[in-house]
Chains A and B, each alone.
Chain A
Amino acid sequence: MARRVAGATATALVVLGVGACGSGAAAAGGDCAETYEIGLSHPVGEAAFVKALKREVQAQADRIGCVEMLFDDTQANDLESQRNTVETWVTQRVDAVVVLPVDAKALSPLQEQAQSSGIKWLTYATPGEGADGYTGFDNVLSGDLVGRAAADWITENQLGGRVTAAISSISALPDVRGRWTQPEQLIPAAGVEVVSLQDCADQTCGLEQAEVLLNAHPDLRVYIGANDDAALGALKAFESRGIDPGEVFIAGQDGNVEALKAVRAGGAYRLSAAIDMNDLARAIVQNSINAVTGTGETETEATVVPASLDDPARLDALIAQLGG
């Protein structure tokens, strides 16, 4: 009996183990004179946008060729997990590390160690001190797009002083603060009080936060997510409360496919400040190679565009880009 139990459990473990090992490091082709090993570390690996980004980076690396991508599995801004992964890459002497640090200061000794070993250190999303390159997008522009659109909507509907607004933030990532500081300035300037500015970056949190806020502020009609996941959760709260979507303005940032489809469906989710995923992914790989070879551009910013029903063709193109 014990042997049978052991056999069954071992089989189950193997199944689970296989499931857990599905990382996307594809080997480069055998025809390469040199293969570049690039590690990409993002602190919020659980976010839908980041998962899509990793897939696209892998696709771009395959397209460019002679590149082996390594991805970490850091989630929920876990600094220790990020540090351990990057430290491993430095130890195995990859050619380049691209990282959005949870805490740039905490990773600076690793940066020194990497660079002194000849490894190129590039940052993602925000420029880094002493880095060999940077691939990002303009978080201030992203926040500006959603904040301005909300302010325009408020003005257009003459809602100044009649409704309230909430904004979510991700304070663990201070380098992207433009996403919430911009709307925090623009919305009050349109005459609407921001009654809540609190951390939230996933759907469950967005739902629960908006539910509580709607209880306390029944006039809440504007919700700006620091990312699309938080805004999607808030959308559910407004829907389940039966509030007329025509009275509500919800916007998120990143341009994940679920959010883009919510915008496409019409209703309360009016805008996502969408990052051009192809552009971003290609730049992550190419900037790293350029840094290693010492040729070409190493600092670029991907385009951030407003994805809304004002431009359905662009919206459809962004959805198609993400395979939606």
Chain B
Amino acid sequence: MTEVLATSTRPTAAVPLRSGLLTGIDSIMPVATVGLMVFFAVRESAFLTADNLLLVALQSAPLMVVAVGAALLLMCGYIDLSVGSVIAVSGVCAGLTFNAAGVPAGVLVGLCVGLAFGVLNGLLIGYLGLSPIIVTLGVLAAGRGLAQVLSPDSLYGFPDAVLEFGSARVLGVANLVWIAVAVVALGGLVMAMLPVGRHIVAVGVNSRAAYLSGIPVRRLVFGMYALVGLLSAVGGLMIVSRLDSAPSGTLGAGLEISVLTAVLLGGIPYSGGKGHLWRVVLGVWLMGILTNGITLMNVSSQLSQVLTGLVLVLAAALEGIRSWLHRSSH
């Protein structure tokens, strides 16, 4: 949907051959993902079961929530590398509050902390024009340090409601998966139906032109960072509710790389200006099944790293070919 804006001035009278070619190109990643699933299904009978696929969805849910925010931000042409630490600080602050003031207060505090970090990033990048990479890398380091200062040890033993929420199901599907579905649906709605969706892409295509056409670029960037901060806190709370623990040293550690990988696999370029959320969902799913399949196959640790790297490089190459063919066919 968003790519339409970026390509709206292009000729629309595509010949059927070209149309067919583009459809085929667009299907590369979905086909590759299905191919990987078939491979795992053949190798491991436990892979292609409803329970296992629901488990992949559950384990991918926190990543999915954060990736939606990061995807919208990258479409806007900006990047946030601080999400792993924002998850840690939000989770730790929520954990500290759970035992002191109850679950609702803990959730509220966790969300506010995530939002505060997002606002900080937004102010520094959106309004002061500082480098997104430098600022968010700084917040990544500072956030992890802050989490460890606030809680040098693991926080655990939260009220029962925390773990109950993290493990409860509705219609056979985990609560956390429903949260991820809701976030994806809202993200899709924003991009498809609301003007802000078009503004995000417009800023990503050319922020100067967007500004001149009346889009409040700074406010939009500020808002997008705040959103990513908030969604990181949601992701952090999701992980904490599954673990019933908030280990400040490892909570969310390295998640920024997983988020970035999923978003780039989803075909959103660094420069922004285009992309589809459903492809990001596919990127998250691909990473989920890869981890799951490797665990099921009991692949040795060294080999699993090689396999993971190879599959991700292959997926990125396929996505690159898709983008290149897309550009050259217009």
Interface of A is mostly: helix
B residues near A68, Cβ cutoff 8 Å:
none
From B141, B154, B245, B292, contact of A212 by CB (8 A): B292
Interface of B is mostly: helix
Interface residues on B, range: 35 or more
Given contacts A45-B249, A75-B249, A258-B245, contact A216 B301 (CB under 8 A): no
**Which of B43-51, B94-102, B278-286 lies at the interface?**
B43-51
Which A residue sits closest to B302, measured CB to CB? A171
Are B156's CB and A9's CB within 8 A? no
Q: Which of B187-228 contact A (CB under 8 A)?
A: none
| B28 at interface, CB cutoff 8 A | no
Q: How far does the Cβ of A69 sit from chain B's closest Cβ, in whole Å?
A: 16
From B55, B154, B298, contact of A196 by CB (8 A): B298
| A133 at interface, CB cutoff 8 A | no
From A45, A52, A197, contact of B153 by CB (8 A): A52
From A22, A47, A211, contact of B145 by CB (8 A): A22
A229 to B295, CA, bound (A): 18
Are B301's CB and A198's CB within 8 A? yes
From A12, A76, A207, contact of B254 by CB (8 A): A76
Q: Which of B275-305 contact A (CB under 8 A)?
A: 291-292, 295-296, 298-302, 304
A residues near B58, Cβ cutoff 8 Å:
211
| B173 at interface, CB cutoff 8 A | no
Which A residue sits closest to B59, measured CB to CB? A208
Q: Which of B124-159 contact A (CB under 8 A)?
A: 124, 127-128, 139, 141-146, 148-150, 152-154, 156-157
A residues near B59, Cβ cutoff 8 Å:
208, 211-212
| B239 at interface, CB cutoff 8 A | yes
Are B153's CB and A203's CB within 8 A? no
A72 to B232, CA, bound (A): 28
A residues near B299, Cβ cutoff 8 Å:
198
Which B residue sits closest to A242, measured CB to CB? B167
| A240 at interface, CB cutoff 8 A | yes
B residues near A73, Cβ cutoff 8 Å:
145
Are A47's CB and B249's CB within 8 A? yes
A213 to B167, CA, bound (A): 17
Q: Which of A187-217 contact B (CB under 8 A)?
A: 195-199, 202-204, 207-209, 211-213, 215-217
Q: Which 8 A-B pairs have the closest CB atoms?
A: A46-B249, A20-B145, A19-B146, A216-B46, A199-B301, A16-B142, A202-B250, A171-B301
